[in-house]
Amino acid sequence: MNTVSLLKKTFGGKTGATVVVCSLLLSACATAPETPSAALDVRQKLTELQRNPEVAGNARIEMREAETAVALAEQPLDSDEATLADHRVYMADRMVEIARAKGSTRQLEADRKRLGEERDAARLAVRTLEADTARADAKSARSSELAAAATASKAAEEMQRQIDELEAEATERGLVLTLGDVLFATGSAELQGGPNRNLEKLVDFLTAYPDRDVLIEGHTDNVGSATFNQTLSLQRAQSVRRYLTDHGVQNRRLTLAGLGLERPVASNESALGRQQNRRVEVIIEH
């Protein structure tokens, strides 16, 4: 049974009364308050925003305000209140967008702060690593310096020991080793037979220090002519060079000079002085 039939039955079939009542009911149905359809769209936007924990978590107050505004926009209104409904929907939509903007902005600020802290931490880690590396390098360098110093000191001690054995004199020209005339017979440039300890020690030194070059100078006293003595002094220097090369010293390291009687170290007026002048000097250069 429809509504009209029911009304007819109720009012005893009085058509006029039925029409009036039906009109009133239909009018009431037509003007019943309704939730604005646009509010549903705003609710959907708010729901999507609430599902984003990062944004929602950074705009808690704004999200509550948006929720209140949306709930107000969802309240049913009569058809003659369309302007108020539109205003409520507009305000709700704005509140949702404000919450979204605030949440996104604060999330970006948090990300920027986190990245800055990570960058600072990385820089600190790099500086710490650099400092540790520098300390390690300094320690290693110091150890290397100490080791090098110890090695140099040991090498210097060993060189000094060999110099002492050579009985060489340190001069501006280098180490000067004087070989007396006992190496040669009178008037001869040939080395005396048998071992000669001074020459053996000279070979040992030059073998140990292959970067040292040598100047071999022959000297004589003033007995005989200057030409004879100059030739004799050079020949004696050549004999010393020959001994050194025969024992492994490279010839390119050896330079000769025959100075004859030009550079006496003592007076030729006495036998002792002349003996001192008859010599071969070996200068080991710096």
What secondary structure letter does DSSP report for 77? B
- 39-53, 74-88, 175-189: lowest mean pLDDT where? 175-189
* pLDDT, position 44: 94
* pLDDT, position 36: 87
How far is it, in rounded angstroms, from Cα 168 to Cα 283?
A: 9
* pLDDT, position 21: 47
Domain positions in the chain = 1-27, 31-130, 167-284
Mean pLDDT (the chain, rounded)? 84
Average pLDDT (61-77) is 92
Backbone angles phi, psi at 183, to 5 degrees: -70, -25
pLDDT, tens digit (0-9, with 9 covering 90-100), for 43-58? 999 999 999 988 888 8
- For residue 28, pLDDT over 50 is answered with no
Confidence of residue 12 (pLDDT cuts 50, 70, 90): low
In degrees, rounded to 5, the angle at the alpha carbon of residue 280 between the alpha carbons of residues 189 and 186 is 40
Average pLDDT (73-89) is 90
Write the single-letter amino acid at 77. Answer: L
- For residue 235, pLDDT over 50 is answered with yes
Q: What is the CATH number of domain 167-284?
A: 3.30.1330.60
Place of tokens 């000669």: 196
Instruction: For CA atoms 13, 19, 25, 26, give the dihedral sign.
Output: positive
* pLDDT, position 9: 55
Q: Identify the burial level of 32 via C-beta atoms within 10 angstroms of its C-beta, where 0-12 means exposed, 13-18 middle and 19 or more buried.
A: exposed
Q: Cβ(222)–Cβ(274) under 8 Å?
A: yes
What Å distances lie between residue 95 and 40, 43, 61, 80, CA to CA? 15, 11, 11, 25
How far is it, in rounded angstroms, from Cα 62 to Cα 99?
A: 5
How far is it, in rounded angstroms, from Cα 90 to Cα 103?
A: 20
pTM value is: 0.51
pLDDT, tens digit (0-9, with 9 covering 90-100), for 155-184? 888 888 888 887 888 888 889 988 877 677
